[in-house]
Structure 1
């Protein structure tokens, strides 16, 4: 861990408080500003696409279209300091015990970010594994509890090949190539020791941190990705019937699309599965006014999930309908995605699974 002076650290905290005050002053357009309480024995689980958390160090193995240092307009890809500070402050506000992150450049970039902005948050356990994605981004987990059973599946054949066309008339860059994970999911098991659990017994929770393929016409690709993850889950549940499983991250799809239906058909439960009658804005997760970031829990974990604590943390975003390509981001901007979180009671509770009410 890099050492920072006390003065520098205090300045970082002060800047974060200023960002929080600015965000609260201007209000939020989507999500909510209120984070529920977290009682003793609860684990707050979260996911957050932090939008290109790149550092300012050049990776010589990446160049051209996928250069990690410059984009095609020769603009530095490194995430601006103000946005990194805003991301950190949102993580502080959320105070998750375990947070899955999407669009991380590398383990080193994440550790540098943690040590600069979140050194006092207790995220002792960090996993971020290069999965060979051309742009260099990957999924990651920061946790206050030990992590085990860590695995990724880069280049895993998902069956079939990419079609010739992208949409009605476009040419598919990957036509004829085998379909693989665009960004491999990251699997970890969170291990809560007995002295910190609600039951006084060890508690375990297996996570799949996901970032499904983006793009309107890549639904076939997302469908393949989610179907394979469902296979993994079914195999684990067959071998360990009492296992707790969550799939969380950026799905690049909404709840009524095939990628989500694959999970629902396998018994996974959406935190906001009670969409009917629920106010729209507090549950939207992307500045395009969509809900594309999810936490899904299996039947076992649903018994321990406090659905009353589900939250989409609102953060500053552009005005409704604004084009991000030519409209500057507002003050306090961190990402085009909102963090999503929920409390888990760390005590196994067999029985009929709970559902959102």
Structure 2
């Protein structure tokens, strides 16, 4: 009895509801409507073979991954439309995973947008426009109620590295301006495909094509995931400062800090970044060491990420195989007593 009593006391002091938050770039989930903004290979019923059967296969594969992540809240990148998101929700239901709440960023000029699925009630959704250009996707801010406590989740998909760092800095500044408007004790988490390495300030310096900002980066300098001496923010640093943010990639061994591959090299383009309020041992708290990549065997083929497959020979067409060119990442948060 004494042992059981001690367990109950420990659960009261250290326990609480655990919430898993994830992000996953699903690689081009287009619906079957011809809206005129699709990439060529996703225009319905052309020689590319993007037809209803292929669409259903893509939905099934995407839902399989999300089902195996098992997140309570998941941000999704490269969703074409609310129709595609609802069809994905329906497929998830068939696979036994139900999300009651969802949000979709309706960026008018872009071919793909961001979305969010949640098991917890959504209190509000705000889209923050970066630019009128279709090269920039809105940043979606979702305020979620978790057992009476509010958490803001910002879902990002910044400009790809087909453009220089100055384009990603535009997104970073819009996001930073919004974060500066929040109170210092506001808990928030930044998730998504930032198209930026967690140490972008080191990796892009030798690239003249990318470095058009004299070494300044969006993810590191603007969001302040490094200090004034260009040292990465640690979790202990985060606890003692209200101005910095912590990138959860540092919780993993260095050789596993990647979620995407480019020319045979791993890149950490997807990120989960937390605010000081998620490390102050009050309210909602990040569970240290819980950050991870989701890496079931089926997401790899011949040692490489098993992305959605298209033929390399003409006429090019979809093969109905593979998943995405990104791996999901996730972290656990606890509602503290």
TM-score, normalised via structure 1 length? 0.67
Residue from 76, 99, 104 that aligns with 1:123: 99
State how far apart, in whole Å, the 2-side matches of 1:66 and 1:132 are: 18
Shift of the 82–73 alpha-carbon distance from structure 1 to 2, 3 Å rule, reads closer
TM-aligned CA deviation for residue 272 of structure 1: 1.7
TM-aligned CA deviation for residue 122 of structure 1: 2.9
Residue from 303, 310, 332 that aligns with 2:291: 310
Residue from 237, 240, 244 that aligns with 1:267: 244
Shift of the 321–189 alpha-carbon distance from structure 1 to 2, 3 Å rule, reads closer
1:150 is paired with a residue of what secondary structure? strand
State how far apart, in whole Å, the 1-side matches of 2:303 and 2:119 are: 36
State how far apart, in whole Å, the 2-side matches of 1:337 and 1:77 are: 23
Could you report, residue by residue, the CA deviation over 1:59-79 in whole angstroms, capped at 9, with x for unpaired residues? 2xx258678525997552876
Counterpart in 2 of 1:339?
328
Summarize the alignment of residues 180-219 of structure 1 with structure 2, pairs less than 5 Å apart: 182-193=136-147, 202-219=148-165
Q: Which runs of 5+ in 1 are unaligned?
A: 1-38, 158-177, 194-201, 349-357
Contact 2:137 2:157 in 1 (8 A): yes
TM-aligned CA deviation for residue 307 of structure 1: 2.5
Could you report, residue by residue, the CA deviation over 1:129-162 in whole angstroms, capped at 9, with x for unpaired residues? 3111332x111010001112211133x45xxxxx
The answer on 1:256 being equivalent to 2:203 is no
Residue from 22, 29, 32 that aligns with 1:56: 32
Could you report, residue by residue, the CA deviation over 1:12-53 in whole angstroms, capped at 9, with x for unpaired residues? xxxxxxxxxxxxxxxxxxxxxxxxxxx860010010011111
Summarize the alignment of residues 72-87 of structure 1 with structure 2, pairs less than 5 Å apart: 74-76=48-50, 80-87=55-62
The answer on 1:44 being equivalent to 2:3 is no
Contact 1:138 1:183 in 2 (8 A): yes
Shift of the 320–259 alpha-carbon distance from structure 1 to 2, 3 Å rule, reads farther
Single out whichever of 180-189 and 92-101 deviates more from structure 2. 180-189
1:338 is paired with a residue of what secondary structure? coil
State how far apart, in whole Å, the 2-side matches of 1:311 and 1:330 are: 30
TM-aligned CA deviation for residue 104 of structure 1: 0.7
Single out whichever of 98-107 and 65-74 deviates more from structure 2. 65-74
State how far apart, in whole Å, the 2-side matches of 1:86 and 1:325 are: 15
Q: Which runs of 5+ in 2 are unaligned?
A: 1-14, 201-216, 227-242
TM-score, normalised via structure 2 length? 0.71
Shift of the 274–146 alpha-carbon distance from structure 1 to 2, 3 Å rule, reads closer
TM-aligned CA deviation for residue 91 of structure 1: 1.2
2:25 is paired with a residue of what secondary structure? strand
1:272 is paired with a residue of what secondary structure? helix
Residue from 223, 239, 259 that aligns with 1:285: 259
Shift of the 84–227 alpha-carbon distance from structure 1 to 2, 3 Å rule, reads same
State how far apart, in whole Å, the 2-side matches of 1:312 and 1:73 are: 36
Counterpart in 2 of 1:241?
184
State how far apart, in whole Å, the 2-side matches of 1:138 and 1:63 are: 12
Q: How many pairs does the alignment contain?
A: 272
